[in-house]
């Protein structure tokens, strides 16, 4: 009789462990999927930037430094793979240079009225909103996984099967803006 009870307890413990393992796998895959959504939206932005720069070149050709900074920031952001903290830093720089680019339009009435520029600006704004939504979704999935990896008993199962906590994708927009306001010089 005791052997049957022990077998049942071992079976229940094994089933519970597998249940926790499957939940951790689900959370891990949600993090991967949501990061993919963030990357898709960032790629869309990367694809829009050259068109925007070319449009601005026609009106503000002597603003070469700003245009070069935007392209350099875009290329740096594209080149970073797999390192979420590095990607976030590159995205901060890119966002800052894009703000400088849009600040230029204030000094060029013809550019500000150009339909291509306005459409690209709308597309970029729309894409920025999608990036923010994707980033929030990613971060909420990271939070769910990280909580699971910290609470008992899933923290034990996570350690046994080598699950790792994930990093949040943080853009320090407000902090960055407060420290380094966008400067445009003419």
Question: Exposed, middle or buried, 1 (CB in 10 Å: 0-12/13-18/19+)?
Answer: exposed
The confidence band for 173, taking pLDDT boundaries of 50, 70 and 90, is low
Lowest average pLDDT, out of 31-35, 56-60, 77-81, goes to 56-60
Q: In the 8-state DSSP scheme, what is residue 162? A: T
> What digits encode the pLDDT tens for the residues 89-113?
888 888 888 888 787 777 777 776 7
Question: Which phi and psi (to 5°) does residue 126 adopt?
Answer: -60, -45
Q: Taking CA 44 as the corner, what is the angle to CA 94 and CA 31, rounded to the nearest 5 degrees?
A: 85
Write out the two tokens for 104: 């230029």
Contact 103, 181 (CB under 8 A): no
Does residue 27 surpass a pLDDT of 70?
Answer: yes
Q: Is the predicted pLDDT of residue 80 greater than 80, yes or no?
A: yes
Q: What does pTM read for this prediction?
A: 0.75
Q: What is the pLDDT of residues 139-166, one digit of tens each?
A: 999 999 999 999 999 999 999 999 999 9
Q: What percent of the chain has pLDDT over 70?
A: 89
């Amino acid at each position: 009789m005791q052997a049957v009870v022990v077998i049942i307890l071992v079976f229940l413990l094994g089933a519970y462990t597998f249940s926790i393992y499957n939940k951790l796998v689900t959370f891990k895959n949600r993090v991967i999927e949501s990061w993919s959504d963030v990357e898709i939206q960032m790629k869309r932005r990367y694809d829009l930037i050259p068109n925007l720069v070319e449009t601005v070149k026609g009106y503000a050709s002597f603003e070469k430094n700003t245009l070069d900074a935007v392209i350099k920031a875009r290329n740096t952001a594209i080149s970073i793979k797999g390192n979420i903290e590095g990607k976030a830093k590159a995205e901060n720089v890119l966002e800052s240079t894009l703000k400088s680019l849009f600040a230029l339009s204030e000094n060029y009435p013809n550019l500000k009225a150009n339909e291509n520029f306005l459409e690209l600006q709308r597309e970029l704004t729309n894409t920025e909103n999608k990036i923010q939504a994707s980033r929030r979704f990613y971060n909420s999935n990271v939070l769910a996984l990280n909580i699971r990896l910290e609470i008992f008993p899933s923290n034990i199962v996570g350690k046994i099967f080598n699950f790792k906590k994930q990093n949040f994708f943080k853009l320090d927009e407000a902090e960055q803006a407060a420290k380094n306001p966008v400067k445009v010089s003419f």
